Amino acid sequence: MAGSRAPVMIDAPLLDRVVDEARTSPRGRRNFNLHPTDDHPAHRLLNAIEPGSYIAPHRHLAADKDESILVVRGSVAIVFFDDLGRETSRATLAAGGATIGVDVPHGAFHTLWALEPGTVFFEAKAGPYRPLLPEERAPWAPAEGTPEAQEWLRRLAAGEPA
């Protein structure tokens, strides 16, 4: 067998396991990395996310950090913003739906959230992993883990000005 590791089958038992881990995670989500290390040049991962999990709006400024997202179970809402925090577009991505994924260009502020329990999406982007820089975080949105975050997400999901 070529390579140093066994193939990983992306099947219902794996998705169930990652969903179970997300449900018990304080953040309401869990990654399952398919890439071997954080410094690997190609990041491929499954993200299980539960309703109410807040991903603070952010962007990736490096020209090689476009990110592709495909929903493999459940559905998510994704929203894009301009630099001032005004919503520019939104979409629903659903496994087996009319729109199953999106390619997010580097530099675009975005967030997403689960619309149903047990949602899992596949994500691919260039490595290596680097923590977000201050200028990649949306200054107009609350940080994850703050008391304001859930209310901000509720208003955004309802289509109200966040």
Tell me how far apart the alpha carbons of residues 50 and 19 are, in angstroms, rounded to a whole number.
8
pLDDT value of residue 2: 56
CATH numbers and ranges of domains, the chain: 12-157 (2.60.120.10)
The pair of structure tokens assigned to 159 is 């289509």
Q: Are the CB atoms for 100 and 94 separated by under 8 Å?
A: yes
pLDDT digits (tens, 9 = 90+) for 96-113: 999 999 999 999 999 999
The pTM of this model reads 0.94
pLDDT value of residue 74: 98
Tell me how far apart the alpha carbons of residues 9 and 86 are, in angstroms, rounded to a whole number.
40
Gyration radius (Cα) of the chain, Å: 16
Q: Can you list the residues of the chain whose pLDDT is less than 50?
A: 1
Provide the terminal-to-terminal Cα distance of the chain, rounded to the nearest Å. Answer: 52
